[in-house]
Structure 1
Amino acid sequence: MPKPPMTLYLAAPRGFCAGVDRAIKIVEMALQKWGAPVYVRHEIVHNKFVVDGLKAKGAVFVEELDECPDDRPVIFSAHGVPKSVPAAAAAREMIYVDATCPLVSKVHIEAQRHAENGLQMIMIGHKGHPETVGTMGQLPPGAVLLVETVADVATVNVRDPDRIAFVTQTTLSVDDTADIVVALTERFPNIVGPHKEDICYATTNRQDAVKAMAPLIDAMLVVGAPNSSNSRRLVEVGLKAGCPYSQLVQRADDIDWRALKGVTSIGITAGASAPEVLIDEVIAAVQARHDVTIQKLETAVETVEFKVPRVLRA
């Protein structure tokens, strides 16, 4: 029997961003420089396929520095860590490499600068996310107030409404964050914001591509991990932009084909920590069931690159 027709829209940009690419390269270069095992505190990026690939090369993933021996190198994940973590590593005279995305480091520096200027910090982010924990951990415990929703703005308790500033997690929904910023500005007219938006270019670009694609498709597949903030935001952005159905999948085997029955156009995108090989796997799975026509939908071209730390370039 002939396969039913299917139009596949491929979002561009999609998948790996410069910060993720740099973080993975840091682990690979550390293994080349020091040999296995190299320890990594927390998943280097939120993608099981990537983490498993690095494990196979000799990386050992742990959640806390206490799980690392003193005599082996340790790498801090792309999401960033509280100040106490590198301080503890230095106290133990460990070799450590910070793979924090430079755009997350920029937020850390902003938070510290505002605090030094006597401003109380508010962070817009998701409670418990490693990036939020890392950013809030740049200042003493309790110094940063967390706001997750517009509703939280009404109840946040500040010491001086005229002496506050805010930063944001880099992987949030652009539109949802804008609503929170409006609410903060209405309640605290003198609040100080970032010189340049904290939400990173890659998060913004991937959400813009999804917004452009959403009206053209019956369903969307987002390749990414369930613990990946930017991947989950892509699912939400697609639904809000008019796509009737949006599904987060880690691998092609996760696709719910029953939910896609009768669909004639699918959009495919991927979170910033999902490698292209997994996107190709999903495309192949659709091609196995359908007569596929592929349309590329490009809304931006990314040329950003970040250098690895000097210790690995030496």
Structure 2
Amino acid sequence: MASTPQHTGAPRPPLNVLLCAPRGFCAGVDRAVQIVELALERFGAPVYVRHEIVHNKFVVESLKAKGAVFIEELDEIPETDIDRPVVFSAHGVPKSVPEAARSRAMFYLDATCPLVSKVHKEAELHHRRGREIILIGHAGHPEVIGTMGQLPEGAVRLVETVEDARTFVPGGEKPLAWITQTTLSVDDTRAIVEVLTERFPDIVAPHKDDICYATTNRQEAVKAVAPMVDAMLVVGAPNSSNSQRLREVAERAGCPVSILVQRASDIPWHALPPLGRLGITAGASAPEVLVEEIIAAFAERYEVKVDSVRTAEETISFNLPRALRDMAAE
């Protein structure tokens, strides 16, 4: 918990907060949250959600308060609620999940980010063309589980590190192709791809980068701000891949202290250096209200001046599922 500031009557020290922009919600997260909220509005509670809709406790808890019920597997839905809507998370799911939902005549809404769906389609295309697929990503992450689950077991091989790329042994004589998780470090992924391309010059790359625009833009903003500040706070969840990557990017870009916090109550005041300039960013699943909460916490201790450092404009939005589209337009 955050400690209570001591009000001694002394003037508060000045603090220049540099807000990274873009930050926070991406189009895929915004769409996923909207799907749950509109489903609750149209169909009433409960609306079931398989896995966290996005990796953010604040978002999940606020949806729970509105009537969303979060589950890990479909068999947790009681037979008495089999006609209730179930939403698949933004990270994507293996093909076996919608197949199971159809077999039980469930009404489901797929909130998979369209950029994740693009990677799924790439994997299927490579498989149809007889290629062995390398997926660059983090083992156990829901997006990786969902992508590997689009194809038969063994069709997709996971590479997590440069060392994995150096020691990768193809399973046979098939041509190779690589795809990636959408929320990776741009620089780490580039290093892995360089090794794979050097070892396998004919390996097929994606037509367009799989790492999503929002991940790339947020990392670029952090790279611009990190060398200018005494510390960087990344607002996001510990299980959020893109938020963890932002923390790492800040460190590598020269920021002396880079810390991931979920909200203001998690700020480790004792671990912060003397501050003149503070950078703040937010992962793609962190709502802006949490950024504002953190700035307010610093304003209790410092005379805060906030400046925005913008490195890209974002205008992308994604269509809602047809079952909810008309409602959103009303």
Measured after TM superposition, the shift of residue 154 of structure 1 is 2.4
Residue 5 of structure 1: aligned partner: 14
Moved more, 156-165 or 179-188: 156-165
**Native 8 Å contact 2:231 2:273 kept in 1:** no
- Please give the residue correspondences for 1:116-127 in structure 2 after superposition, counting only pairs within 5 Å: 116-127=128-139
Measured after TM superposition, the shift of residue 36 of structure 1 is 0.5
- If the length of structure 2 is used for normalisation, what is the TM-score? 0.94
> Is residue 313 of structure 2 the alignment partner of residue 305 of structure 1?
no
Match of 2:151 among 133, 139, 148: 139
Match of 2:32 among 16, 20, 23: 23
Amino acid at match of 2:147: T
Amino acid at match of 1:2: P
Give me the whole-angstrom Cα distance separating, in 1, the residues matched to 2:203 and 2:141: 24
Match of 2:211 among 184, 199, 218: 199
Deviations 1:84-110 (A, max 9, x none): 000110111100010000000000000
Q: Percent identity over the alignment? A: 68
- Please give the residue correspondences for 1:39-188 in structure 2 after superposition, counting only pairs within 5 Å: 39-69=48-78, 70-160=82-172, 163-188=175-200
**Native 8 Å contact 1:162 1:190 kept in 2:** no
Residue 226 of structure 2: aligned partner: 214
User: Which structure 2 residue ranges, 5 or more long, are not aligned?
Assistant: 1-9
Measured after TM superposition, the shift of residue 162 of structure 1 is 5.9
- If the length of structure 1 is used for normalisation, what is the TM-score? 0.98
Amino acid at match of 2:119: V
**Native 8 Å contact 1:17 1:272 kept in 2:** yes
Deviations 1:119-165 (A, max 9, x none): 01110000000000000000011211000000001222313466010
Give me the whole-angstrom Cα distance separating, in 2, the residues matched to 1:273 and 1:138: 24
Deviations 1:274-307 (A, max 9, x none): 0000000000011110011111100011000011
Amino acid at match of 1:22: R
> Is residue 218 of structure 2 the alignment partner of residue 229 of structure 1?
no
Give me the whole-angstrom Cα distance separating, in 2, the residues matched to 1:107 and 1:57: 32
Amino acid at match of 1:189: P
Give me the whole-angstrom Cα distance separating, in 2, the residues matched to 1:277 and 1:215: 26
Runs of 4+ in 1 over 4 A off after TM superposition: none
Give me the whole-angstrom Cα distance separating, in 2, the residues matched to 1:193 and 1:261: 43
Moved more, 161-170 or 39-48: 161-170
Give me the whole-angstrom Cα distance separating, in 2, the residues matched to 1:304 and 1:43: 23
**Native 8 Å contact 2:230 2:273 kept in 1:** no
Give me the whole-angstrom Cα distance separating, in 2, the residues matched to 1:139 and 1:96: 21
Give me the whole-angstrom Cα distance separating, in 2, the residues matched to 1:29 and 1:232: 30
User: Which structure 1 residue ranges, 5 or more long, are not aligned?
Assistant: none
Give me the whole-angstrom Cα distance separating, in 1, the residues matched to 2:154 and 2:74: 22
Give me the whole-angstrom Cα distance separating, in 1, the residues matched to 2:106 and 2:324: 15
